Amino acid sequence: MSINLTILGCHSATPRVNAHPTSQFLDINNRTFLIDCGEGTQVQLRKYKLRFSKIQCIFISHLHGDHYYGLIGLISTFMLHKRSQELHIYGPKGLKEVITLQLKLSKTWINFGLFFHELTSKSSEIIYEDDKVEVHTIPLKHRVYTNGFLFKEKEGDRKLNMAKIIKYDEIERCDYRNLQLGKDFKNSDGSLVNNQILTFAPNPAKSYAFCSDTMYTESIVPIIKNCDLLYHETTFLKDKNTLAKTTMHSTALQAGSIAKAANVKKLIIGHFSSRYTNLNDFKQEAQEVFENTELASAGKEFVV
């Protein structure tokens, strides 16, 4: 299992009893991230029995309250639980000022490393990278500076072709690691055995793209091209196309069009306006152009 995404909240504007603002819990290649942190996020984490102590990094798309008002509460809970692991937060410039002022005025002293990485670039950039995963920004078009995030696995090790390996007496178990890393095998006489003879290609690297609040923009298509899983906001149906443009949000039809243009494998839609009661209308509209569409809902898991 490479990617496991749990939706914590997927509605717009103010939270309600059964409608929670945006937040997602992502496990990708044994890295655990939180994406956006709307009000009540930590309650949702508990409700779905997700170990928020595992969260290594938090990515905040923009500074509208329904996407980050739960952050200060979560940080305070980490402190009360005596977290020792560093926490890195990636988000727009100004986020550090908001959070540190709240901590200061409440005289809350954090007992773990809290690091803010403030974003200002209007072009896509790598903002996180380790040996297994990299994260790129997806510049979006909204009323304030906003980014989506593209989470990409790095290509794994090659797989050993034991049926071929056993034909070469000189290859020993201690050589296997080098073969997995793509190195050719050198015989004692100096001749080389090509790595591709002895191994299979690694599993294809998986990717997940999160596109928060944004108006329809084809500029994101090259960034998210061919990704395995795409979340794209759909605040309105196409009957409110003018309102979507005015408020710089998207319709379900537009989200489906982006998914089709980017040739993604699966589309998840969310950020539904409270004016709608039948959410299946969103799914049906997106499926007019992109069949493999699913609705986000709190507690729902998506596995790649």
Are 164 and 152 part of one and the same domain? no
Are 299 and 181 part of one and the same domain? no
Are 193 and 227 part of one and the same domain? no
pLDDT at 264: 98
Are 279 and 177 part of one and the same domain? no
Are 33 and 132 part of one and the same domain? yes
Residue 1 clears pLDDT 80, i.e. is over it: no
Can you give the CATH number for the domain in which 108 is found? Answer: 3.60.15.10
More confident residue, 211 or 109: 211
Are 86 and 118 part of one and the same domain? yes
User: Which of these three, 146, 174, 200, is where a domain ends?
Assistant: 200
Q: Containing domain of residue 186, as a range?
A: 159-200
pLDDT at 202: 87
Mean pLDDT of the chain: 95
Query: What are the catalytic residues?
Result: 66
Are 135 and 184 part of one and the same domain? no
Are 249 and 105 part of one and the same domain? yes
pLDDT at 303: 96
pLDDT at 275: 92
Are 34 and 102 part of one and the same domain? yes
User: Which of these three, 179, 200, 221, is where a domain ends?
Assistant: 200
The pTM assigned to this predicted structure is 0.91
Are 137 and 80 part of one and the same domain? yes
Are 181 and 56 part of one and the same domain? no
User: Are 258 and 292 a contacting pair, CB within 8 Å?
Assistant: no
How many distinct structural domains can be found in the chain?
2
75-83's contacts with Cβ under 8 Å and 24+ in sequence apart are: 75/99, 75/103, 75/110, 75/114, 76/108, 77/42, 77/52, 78/52, 78/53, 78/110, 78/112, 79/108, 79/109, 79/110, 79/111, 79/112, 81/53, 82/111, 83/53, 83/111, 83/112
Are 48 and 181 part of one and the same domain? no
